[in-house]
Amino acid sequence: MVPVQGDLIVENLGLSNEDKEKLINEVNVIINSAASVNFDDPLQDALQINYFGSYRMLELAKQCKNLNVFTHISTAYVNCNRKGYLDEIIYSPEHDVENIVKNIMSMSI
């Protein structure tokens, strides 16, 4: 394991070109657990970290030539609109998530 410096809220994760190339060519496992669990963050800031940051990690993973595993450890309450027992599966969204995110990011808060 070799640490690299990056930033979830920056395009290309704030990786240097050298680090990005190394990751693309050498990484075979990505475990994304980066997130903000400060539930008082402004909504747009939380989206930048937890939504777009995860998306940026997935985009990097898609470029990795030797990737065997991409694991995302989610923040709490991702299925808070459901009641009772929740299986460990990916549930289909009940709403147009991309449109909701677009609307939130376009707000002047």
Per-residue confidence (pLDDT) for residue 79, from 0 to 100: 66
Answer whether 12's CB lies under 8 Å from 52's CB. no
pLDDT tens string, the chain, 109 residues long: the values are 888 889 999 989 999 999 999 999 999 999 998 888 888 999 999 999 989 999 999 999 999 999 999 998 876 666 667 788 888 887 888 789 899 999 999 998 7
pTM of the model: 0.81
Name the 3-class secondary structure at 99.
Answer: helix
DSSP 18: H
